[in-house]
Amino acid sequence: MKQNSYSYEDLILCGKGELFGPGNAQLPQPPMLMFDRITEISESGGDYGKGGMTAELDINKDLWFFDCHFNEDPVMPGCLGVDAMWQLVGFYLGWLGGPGRGRALGSGQVKFTGQVLPSSKKVTYKVSLSRVIARKLYMGIADATMEVDGKTIYEATNLRVGLFTDTSAF
């Protein structure tokens, strides 16, 4: 039976290729791993009933990106939040049992209406799968939001991630 939540230690195992098996979906290792835990994952959840997940990142002033983005104006780069959403879609495909390595394939609209500062406490990602293609091409399409301390600050539509058994053509 599949787990419905994952600890930080589980996510590290995924990054080492030990969760879904060699050659299958992996998360990046820290510091590029952009969440600390997956609190909920299900095949019937999300806004469309086709799969959903929630993940969290604890914020503290010592996170690596605050020292370099920007000098004397520290803020989490928006691209890292979007990457976290892609990471989660790829994790979901691996969790389903899809074969191959994950690659981000694009997105629809991305909207930023806030920022993550060193004084923030927690980021919450919510991902809703709108479609999962499980044929020769294994791909997930999802909408996602990112909240900081309970306020939605990023919204992304039609995030696309595919799993590939051969990535040599990329």
The neighbouring-strand residues paired with 102 are: 163
Asked if residue 1 has pLDDT above 70, the reply is: no
**146 contact partners, CB below 8 Å, separation of at least 6:** 81, 84, 85, 123, 124, 125, 152, 153, 154, 155
Average pLDDT, the chain: 96
Q: Is residue 41 within 8 Å of 25, Cβ to Cβ?
A: no
Yes or no: domain 8-164 corresponds to CATH 3.10.129.10: yes
CA distance 25 to 22: 8
| Per-residue confidence band for 170, with pLDDT thresholds at 50, 70 and 90 | confident
| Per-residue confidence band for 161, with pLDDT thresholds at 50, 70 and 90 | very high
Catalytic residue list contains 69: yes
| Per-residue confidence band for 136, with pLDDT thresholds at 50, 70 and 90 | confident
Confidence (pLDDT) at 33: 98
DSSP E strands, the chain: 37-42, 52-58, 101-106, 110-112, 122-134, 138-148, 151-164
| Per-residue confidence band for 70, with pLDDT thresholds at 50, 70 and 90 | very high
Task: Choose, from 39, 50, 56, 69, the residue flagged as catalytic.
Answer: 69
Ordered by start, the domain boundaries in the chain are: 8-164
At 79-100, the pLDDT tens digits run 999 999 999 999 999 999 999 9
CA distance 22 to 58: 29
Question: What predicted TM-score, i.e. pTM, was given to this entire model?
Answer: 0.97
Confidence (pLDDT) at 150: 98
Quote the percentage of the chain above a pLDDT of 70: 99
Confidence (pLDDT) at 169: 82
